[in-house]
Amino acid sequence: MSTNYEVTIESFAERHYIRTFAKKYKKAWDFTLSALVREFQSFDVILEKTIAEEITDKNADVVICKTEFKISGTQESRHGSGNRCIVAKHKNTNKICVLLVYHKNDLGGGNETANWKRFIKENYPDYSNIL
């Protein structure tokens, strides 16, 4: 049986890039976002597939995870789309906090992982110690 998580989209995530997705994809984005929220409510299920990975210590209470997604109605694969979400899974409170939703080109050049980790550290001091 999998845990049912409460999903919260952080305001930083809302302001950075989600707005861009919403403008670019309009209704398709609304479908995509509600599908993501539904997926994240059963986060343990998507971890079993290859569309999410735990980045930090999976035995800790709070685990930073990265997932891939595609825009609803497009032909791209999740992986090929370049769209990602960074979430914090809080095991003891059964919460998923969406920290960052982005397309890999949004973060500028260089190492994608290093870029999103820097974003998280700069904007979420609570998580900087586990990254």
The predicted structure's pLDDT at residue 1: 60
Which two structure tokens, joined as six digits, stand for 52? 């999410």
* Structural contact between residues 87 and 97, judged by C-beta atoms closer than 8 angstroms: yes
Spans of all domains in the chain: 6-128
The predicted structure's pLDDT at residue 49: 83
**Of 50, 36, 31, 46, which Cα lies nearest the Cα of 102?**
36
pLDDT digit string, tens, across residues 38-63: 999 999 999 988 789 999 999 999 99
Which residue has 């397309």 as its token pair? 103
CATH architecture, domain 6-128 = 2-Layer Sandwich (3.30)
Q: Whole-model pTM? A: 0.94
Which residues are 53's β-sheet partners?
66
The predicted structure's pLDDT at residue 50: 77
Cβ neighbours around 9 below 10 Å, total:
19
User: Quick check: 17 pLDDT over 70?
Assistant: yes
pLDDT digit string, tens, across residues 71-110: 999 999 999 999 999 999 999 999 999 999 999 999 988 9
